[in-house]
Structure formats: C-alpha cells, structure tokens
Chains A and B, each alone.
Chain A
Amino acid sequence: MNLLSIAYKSIKQRALSSSLTSLSVALGVMLMVTVLVIHGIIDRMFSQQTIGYELIVGRKGSGLQLVLNTVYRLKQPIENLPYLYYLELKNDPRVEDAVPFALGDFTKEGGFPIIGTVSDYFVLDYAPDHKFKIRGSGFRDSFDAIIGSEVARENGWRVDDPNTPENEASTFKLVHGGAESDHEHDEVFTVRGVMQKTGTPNDKTVFIHLNGFYAIAGHDRPPNETLTKLKAFYTEGIPGRPDLDQTDPETLKPKPGEHIHGMEDWQKEVTAVLVNCKRPPDWPADAASPQLGDFEAEFKRGFKAQAVNPIVPMRELMQDIVGNIRKVLVVMTGLIIIVSGVSIFVSIYNSMSDRRREIAVMRALGAQRRTVFSIILAESLLLCVGGGVVGVLMGHGLVFAVAPYVAAQSGLLIDPFAFEPMELSVLPGLIVLASLVGIVPGLTAYRTDVAKALAE
C-alpha cells in the first residue's frame, strides 16, 4: 500500500467531514474557474480585431455610447447623421463598405430593438469568419424584415414556407421609440428572413428594410426643421445641393393640416454608418486596413461626426472597469479557496487527537516519522487537489449551464468548452495550499510519542 492509498483510506474513514471540506475547495475553485472562463470570453470578444466592420461613424459624442448602441443595442442613440452624409461615405473612394443603421423603434411583442438597414449588412461577418445564415428570402420589399433567432423563438415568428402554404409569414407592428414610447405605428412588416443563432446581439434584433423605416409615418420631420439641422451640420455647404443652401427653412414650414408624403434623401437621417476601408488585394484579412488610421484621424479633426473603431472603447472599458472587476473577483475567489484550505487544516488538525493511536500503531509497525508526516500531507493534498479537480469540472459545467442564458440575456457568445490558461495555475496553487495546511497536522503526527499514545 502506498502513501496515497493509506491517506485515501483515512479520508474515507471520515467521509462526511472530508467531503464537506473538499466540497468547500471545489466551490471556491468552481467560482474562480467560472470567473476566469467568462472573463476570458468577454475579454476575447471585446479584444477581437474585427466584428465585420472597422469603423462605426456616428454623430459626435461618446464613442462608447455609439458602440454600445450600434453593436450591443444598449443605451439610447446619440443624435442622428444626415442620410446625405452616409451617401458621402458610401461614395468615398477609400471606403469599401458603408452600411447605414437607423435605430429607435421596438417591436410591440417582446420589445426587441428595430434597426433599419440594407441587405449589405448581412454580407458582412458578424464575428471573425462567421457569416450570417438566413432562412427565408431576405429583403424583397420595403416592409420586409429579417429577425434574430431569439426574436423568432420568443415571439414564435416565422417566414413563409412554400411547402405549407397555410403557414404564412409572421407580421408585426412597431412601437415608436423615444418620448412617445407607447405610440404604435400603423405600418405592418412581414418576416422574410430568420437568422440562425449567432450568439450576438443580432439574435435579439429585428432588422427592417431602410426604405420601410423611412416610410413609417412619424419618422419624417417637418422639412423646415430638417433643413435647419442639415445646415447646422453642413456649415460649409450641403454637398451637391446648393439649392438647399439658398433655401430659407421657414419657407418649408408645413401649413396647418398639411401632411408630409415621402421623404427626399436630404430629409432622411441615419443613426450610424458601419464602414470598412478599402484594402490592397493581398492584405491580411485579420489586419486593419492601411488607411484606417488616416481615416479615423480625419474624423477626429472634424466637428461633425466621429468614427470609432468598435473594439477600442470596449477594450478601454474592459481594461478600466471589467478588468478591475475581474481582479476583485479573482482575489475574492482566491480568498474563498484559502478559507477552504483553512477548513481542511481545521478538519485534519481536529482529527489528529483521535488519530494519535492510529499513528502510533503505524509507527510501532515500523512506519518512520517522515512516513506518517507524508500520509497526513497526502491527505491534505488529496482533499485540496481532489476538490480542485472537481471544482474545475464544476466550473466548466456551470459555464456550460449558463452559456445559453448569458447568450440570450447579453448576446455574449460563450464557448462552454473554453479553457483559460490561468486555470493551469489553479492546481499548482492548490498543491502549495495543501502543503501549507498539511504541515502543522503533519508535524503533529511526526512528533507523536509512540509509547505514550499506545499506552493511552
């Protein structure tokens, strides 16, 4: 019988207290592994070099708010950009892709955010090397919609199925965002596409055709107000529309009872524009395009709009806030593990008085002092490392269990089998901890007076 099997037998003899002390280690390790894995996933997600587009162009303001609003659909949009500005970007020779986003409304059922956009958006990667997969025909008409997988699941919406004509495509209405949050628009949209699950906020978003977005009654502003805003934006002249420069906005003020029908491009607005710069043919796919820096700098010099690399503010957020939270959590879980280690110490140490005779018998049978010391140390190691291994498995099990929930709630794509290199330090750390907490009981065993203990 080797030392480990002797130690294991002793642990089994005190199965309940051993299990509980080992479980406390397991729970501590489980929490630490969960923190490490989930943080690692968040870190990688926000540290990735691309999410299908390099820049988000929006109105001047908080870059973080622009990213949270455009990518994660959190927070309210900043002020809008003129549609003409989007056209400028689209026609810029340095720009490869320019995809407009118009945000603001919600679905009546489920309150999912609405984004008015164009089909080009679904050609971009939603994550590195991940393309959208859409069931259905996609945008065919202004009042068509493509919905995320979670929207389809929660609302029970579907696309039409040619094989079962009775299963018609779902239709829905929008609730106006902003101040009049309870106002329901009259326009009816039809589901023409359901995205496969992406594990991103797209799963909980409804995309409608941009033309349909502009066609919604109430999304148009009085022309005089729009022109005033446009002139304020283009202080050096509205590009391609010198006629508007010459027009006094007051002359466009609607007369009482006059309804606005349709919008010209200069009247339209977008919330953000997703931009990819052109890159040389042999340029690595995962590297930023060579003109990106100049392009961003150009925006920084101007006062009208901002261009934000969506990764940068999120990385800053990660480093400044989330990173510190992670440190606190790791330290706290580390303390939990140390407390668990102390409980192992208490458990073994308390058992020593009951085991004096057992140790004395082993010594009488020829066990050396260092042998009984090693047996106690092995017990501590088995409890700590055993609890640690169970904790690692439980941690990954917990991540596995919560991954769908977290993905549904936050849009974070969590790989349940993700492994963090720092986990490798958990077990060596536990071995050190076990050695430390095993030393004192081990020394008690080492110093046992055999003759006295046998006589007791």
Chain B
Amino acid sequence: MSLLLERVEKSYREPDGTPLPILDIENFQLGDAEQVALVGESGGGKTTLLNVISGISTPDSGRVVIDGVEINALPEVARDRFRAERIGFVFQTFNLLAAFSALENVLLGMSFGGGKADRVRALELLDRVGLSKRASHRPGQLSVGEQQRVAVARALANRPSLLLADEPTASVDIANQENILTLIREACLADNVSLLLVTHSPDIASRFGRVARLDEINRVAQTTAAAGGPA
C-alpha cells in the first residue's frame, strides 16, 4: 500500500462566507505496511486530514492517491466502495453501534464492503482482540477498552490496506492504552496494513519509527503556529 498526498488544500467557509483554510499539504507519503504517528495540536486539521485521505471529504485541490488510485477523482459511490474495501477506521470514541452486538458490529463493517459478511472471519477477529467470549455482548455491556478492541476488529474486517486511527487511545485508561496500541500495531504488521495513527501524546508517538508533525507538513498549521495559536 502506498499513500500519496500532493498539493492538497482544504478549507471551510466561515458563517460570513470567508474561506477558512484547514489543510495545505505540499507532499505527504506513507509506504507499504509503514506505521506513522501523526501528531499535532488540537484544531490543527488532523481529523480533516483523515477525512480527506479516507474520501469522506474531498480536497479543494490536489491529489490523494492510494495504491495508485486517485480517490478524490472518483465519484462518491466509488469512493465509498473504495473506503469500505481498502480503508479501516478506528475512531477516538469507538463509534460502535449500540443496537448491534460486538460480532454484529464487525459484520456490519463487512456488509458495506460489497462482499459477503464472513461470520467465521468476524469471530476470528474478535478472537484476535481477545473478545471471542464477548461476541454476543452489546457495546453497553462492554468496558471502554473492550469497545475499542471491537472497533479495531471492525476496522480490520475487510482486510484493508490502510488503517486510519484517530486518537484511538484518547478515551481509554492508561492501562488499556498500551494494550490498544499494541493490538493495533501488531494487527497491522500481521496483515501488512499501513497505519496512520493520529495522537497528541508524545509518549505514544515515541513508539513509532516515523512521526509526522502536522505543523511540519501542513502549511496552514505552520501559519497558525506562527500567528501564536491553533486554527
């Protein structure tokens, strides 16, 4: 897997119509099965960057290329399909669906990928994250750490080539932070999945061989920092 961002710009509009630049990235790359920690201040555009990479949002200009596919040039339906099949997402607040059991949450991720929901694989994934005995439990019946592990299993369900993790340890206690981080990194290594993990924890970032600082790759963040505060 390779990820390439080239001259990516993204801005929002203020209520009065004034453009509010969020991203201005000249070049950013992620190699095959590479694991990168992306650090930056709150409000620095980290989540927007993940949305642009995953195709949830489209950049105003520039290119987002994953495995040679310029996803921002794809129609929305194709972007959705690409995201379902090739990109895994782990959210800070897990975002498990409360009405579904742990197993069903994993199967749900598979359902949108166009393939058949593979119950055996879903159970294997839950086993890998140590929750095979909690498969029928709903999120409300699971601890915070267990919920995040279900979220990891769901993100890996469709055998993605890129896993985007948005501060996945921010909502769990310190004891679970290590477990979650290890789980994500080992799972990505085992499945040859590239990982871009957003964090603002220097400690967590220090575990990664490569750390990308948003204020170094995003010119908007640099300008904001120079002006004396986050955007």
Which of the residues A2, A6, A10, A365 comes within 8 Å of B89, measured between beta carbons?
A365
A13–B96 CA distance with the chains assembled, in angstroms: 14
Q: Is B109 interfacial (CB-CB < 8 Å)?
A: yes
CB within 8 Å for A363 and B97 given contacts A1-B107, A1-B108, A6-B111: no
Asked whether, in the complex, the Cβ of B98 is within 8 Å of the Cβ of A366, the reply is: no
For chain B, the count of residues having a C-beta within 8 Å of the partner chain is 30
> B152 → chain A, closest Cβ, in Å?
13
Q: Is A396 interfacial (CB-CB < 8 Å)?
A: no
Asked whether, in the complex, the Cβ of B84 is within 8 Å of the Cβ of A366, the reply is: yes
- Among the listed stretches B24-32, B48-56, B170-178, B184-192, which one makes contact with chain A, having 4 or more residues with CB under 8 Å of it? B48-56
- Sorted from nearest, which 5 A-B pairs have the closest CB atoms? A366-B84, A13-B99, A366-B112, A9-B99, A361-B95
| Residues of chain B contacted by A358 (CB below 8 angstroms) | 97-98
Q: Is A364 interfacial (CB-CB < 8 Å)?
A: yes
Q: Is A12 interfacial (CB-CB < 8 Å)?
A: yes
Contacts beyond the supplied A362-B108, A366-B84, A450-B56: 19 A-B pairs with Cβ under 8 Å: A1-B107, A1-B111, A2-B111, A9-B100, A13-B99, A357-B95, A358-B98, A361-B95, A364-B83, A365-B89, A367-B80, A367-B84, A368-B77, A368-B81, A368-B112, A369-B80, A451-B57, A454-B91, A455-B47
Residue interface mask B101-132, A partner, CB < 8 A = 1: 00010011101110001000000000000000
Interface of B is mostly: helix
- The 5 sampled A-B contact pairs (Cβ below 8 Å) are A1-B111, A366-B85, A368-B76, A369-B76, A451-B47
Q: Is B154 interfacial (CB-CB < 8 Å)?
A: yes
Closest chain B residue, CB of each to CB of A372: B112
Which of the residues A357, A367, A450 comes within 8 Å of B112, measured between beta carbons?
A367
Interface of A is mostly: helix
| Residues of chain A contacted by B109 (CB below 8 angstroms) | 365-366
For chain A, the count of residues having a C-beta within 8 Å of the partner chain is 23
A1–B117 CA distance with the chains assembled, in angstroms: 6
> B166 → chain A, closest Cβ, in Å?
9
Residue interface mask A412-456, B partner, CB < 8 A = 1: 000000000000000000000000000000000000001100110
Asked whether, in the complex, the Cβ of A361 is within 8 Å of the Cβ of B97, the reply is: yes
Q: Is A371 interfacial (CB-CB < 8 Å)?
A: yes
| Residues of chain A contacted by B99 (CB below 8 angstroms) | 9-10, 12-13
| Residues of chain B contacted by A13 (CB below 8 angstroms) | 98-99
> B172 → chain A, closest Cβ, in Å?
18
Closest chain A residue, CB of each to CB of B82: A366
A450–B47 CA distance with the chains assembled, in angstroms: 12
